[in-house]
Structure 1
Amino acid sequence: MRLLSVHPWLLRAIQIGVAVALMGLLWRIADGPDAARLLRQADPLWLAAAVAALTIQTWLSALRWRLAARQLGIVLRPGEAVREYYLAQVVNQSLPGGMVGDAGRAVRSRGPSGLLAAGMAVVFERLAGQVAMFLAMASAFVVTLAAPGGFEWPRWLVLPVAVIVLAGTLMPLGLAAATRMPGRIGRSASAFWRMLARALLARRVLPRHVLLSIGTTVANLGAFAFCAIALDAALPLVAVLALVPLILFTMLIPISISGWGLREGAAAALFPLAGATASQGLATSITFGLAFIVAVLPGAAFIGTPSPVPARTSRAKAE
């Protein structure tokens, strides 16, 4: 029992160590002093634009979560959804792993509908955002390969990105195949698919999910692009669509604190493909991370507030 209680803290210590080690390594190999110079000279107006874009991304994500949750029987007022989303982001930025806040969002909103429905609402909301980001990256990848000239993919990167695009494209087929399997796997996959279809794909909500997810993707990519402009490292639109999603996807790897170190490493490696320098990539990623922290700071005001715990359930039924 004692070992089990120590293990999470050991894991967090490792994640913190990974983030610090990666940042230290990048500082040496990506010209950290030049990155520091760029940070000191950052344009405050473009930084404010990045914070505004990330704030809009939070609001749109909260509304997307509220929409998915309602389909699963959980009713949240818009203000409640925004408050809980801010609070979850503050927790995610504070603790290693980047998912603790989302788990807390599910627990705090479960109400009479139960933890399963609340947890699935959170999962589906995050999934919708990642799918939109993936489609932006995959579309840019396919278009730039089919029509070379505007952006040249290096050979070392084509195969890994192609594998990511292919895997993401085949994932729905994998889920469909899993629903036909016998036993527990088939039953679990079928239940997951039914809830997914109810939360995201019902006719009344699908158009709104599409619009909200486009909005969050534009806000995220725009915020990163604004940070680059603030450091005089503006990226072409095709590079924003093709490379920035790859940079941001590294934040999903749970081996550091909120992607710190991994995101900066990806930016330092990929920025030269768009005609920028590794130090500009490092500085832009650091700026984006700091802008995100500033954008979610309002969530600190909600620490200690009671959970919404809806006493009502949605009367809307799945279409």
Structure 2
Amino acid sequence: MAQVAFTAVVLAWLFQKTDWPHLLQRFEEMDPWWFAAAAASYAANISISSGRWWIILRALSRPAPIAWLWRLNWVGAYFNQVLPGSVSGDFLRAWYTRHQARGMPFALAAVFSDRFIGMGALVGIALTAFLLGGRHVALLPGMDKTMAVVVAGYVLIVALILTPWLNFLNTHLGKVGNKLHDIRLGMAALLRHPKALAATIGLSLIVQGFSILTFWSLAQALRVHLDPAAVWLVWPLVSLFLALPVSFAGWGLREGLVVLYLGALHIGHDAALALSLLTGATVLLTSLPGALLWFGIGHHRLSQHPAIEASENPR
């Protein structure tokens, strides 16, 4: 309920500042070809990221068929958009791969590693854009402090995963501590697997490239001219913040941040709000096939039995 309330309050505040005829006119004049390109780009984002998950599971010696992971990736993307929190679909992905991962802790470790490495790609893109952005970056309010916190936070989490500092969880928190310990060990095993880590980072950069392309294509559809700082710094940073479970599927939080940052780059309130709303709608609509792929998934052999294809046996 708190997430719904946050979303409602932020959107209400933004809407009362909106010129509705102007906003609606932007949607009416939207270029459908650019919108279709954006939807195709986001579909590529969902599909290609299943390959990253596949690499991670193999690196943990807990492989699963790529077609199964592709289906679950679409299902997870759908439920991330329609359930409270921004990671509901991720927990669902872990649940349906618990047999292949031989337990929920390693299934969660694989899914969290998938999400975490994707976030690392966003941090890298945003940091590069911040360092190379020039005078336009200086226009963004508090961006230097924000980037410092984001980078420091990510580095700290990596350090906690790789070091034994959290081993006390195993002895002080009982069964919960054991599960958290197993999740951390699973993620640490991936971070110590150079080839798999390099492959997932490379794939993450491609996946996030499609996310950026989606945002840019929607700006073209609405005829909103975006500064490079908006494309390469603002959107990756907003995407990172959307992982925070403070709003319903990112609604409200995304709109507030986009209006704030694009406004600093001299893009009007209505144009920025239209772009953010269209981005959210595109993500939701493109994720809808996940609802169809979810039907009957509980009866799929891989959701019920630990056995997997002979060709996918651990090395």
Equivalent residues of 1:267, 1:278 under 8 A apart:
no
Name 1:249's counterpart in structure 2.
Answer: 240
Name 1:290's counterpart in structure 2.
Answer: 281
Counterpart among 117, 122, 146 of residue 111 in structure 2 = 122
| 1:154–1:75 distance in 2 versus 1, CA, 3 Å | closer
Matched, 1:237 2:238: no
Question: How big is the shift at 1:303?
Answer: 2.3
Name 2:51's counterpart in structure 1.
Answer: 63
Letter in 1 for 2:9: A
Report matched runs for 1:14-25 at 5 Å.
14-25=2-13
The Cα RMSD (Å) is 2.5
Distance 1:163 1:17 in 2: 26
After the TM superposition, which segments of 4 or more aligned residues of structure 1 sit over 6 Å from their partners?
185-190
Equivalent residues of 2:259, 2:273 under 8 A apart:
yes
Per the normalisation by structure 2, the TM-score is 0.86
Matched, 1:102 2:90: yes
Per the normalisation by structure 1, the TM-score is 0.85
Aligned residues: 301
| 1:169–1:142 distance in 2 versus 1, CA, 3 Å | farther
Report matched runs for 1:155-304 at 5 Å.
156-176=142-162, 178-180=163-165, 183-184=168-169, 194-304=185-295
Name 2:174's counterpart in structure 1.
Answer: none
Distance 1:182 1:299 in 2: 38
Note the alpha carbon deviations across 1:61-90, whole angstroms, 9 max, x for none. Answer: 111111112223433222211111111111
Counterpart among 39, 57, 65 of residue 27 in structure 2 = 39
Distance 1:93 1:17 in 2: 16
| 1:207–1:255 distance in 2 versus 1, CA, 3 Å | closer
| 1:181–1:58 distance in 2 versus 1, CA, 3 Å | closer
| 1:195–1:149 distance in 2 versus 1, CA, 3 Å | same
Letter in 1 for 2:236: P
What SS is found at the alignment partner of 1:29?
coil
| 1:192–1:14 distance in 2 versus 1, CA, 3 Å | closer
- In structure 2, runs of 5+ residues without a counterpart are 172-176
Equivalent residues of 2:212, 2:232 under 8 A apart:
yes
Distance 1:117 1:123 in 2: 10
Equivalent residues of 2:130, 2:137 under 8 A apart:
no
Equivalent residues of 1:34, 1:279 under 8 A apart:
yes
Greater Cα offset, 130-139 or 37-46: 37-46
The sequence identity of aligned pairs, in percent, is 24
| 1:185–1:277 distance in 2 versus 1, CA, 3 Å | farther
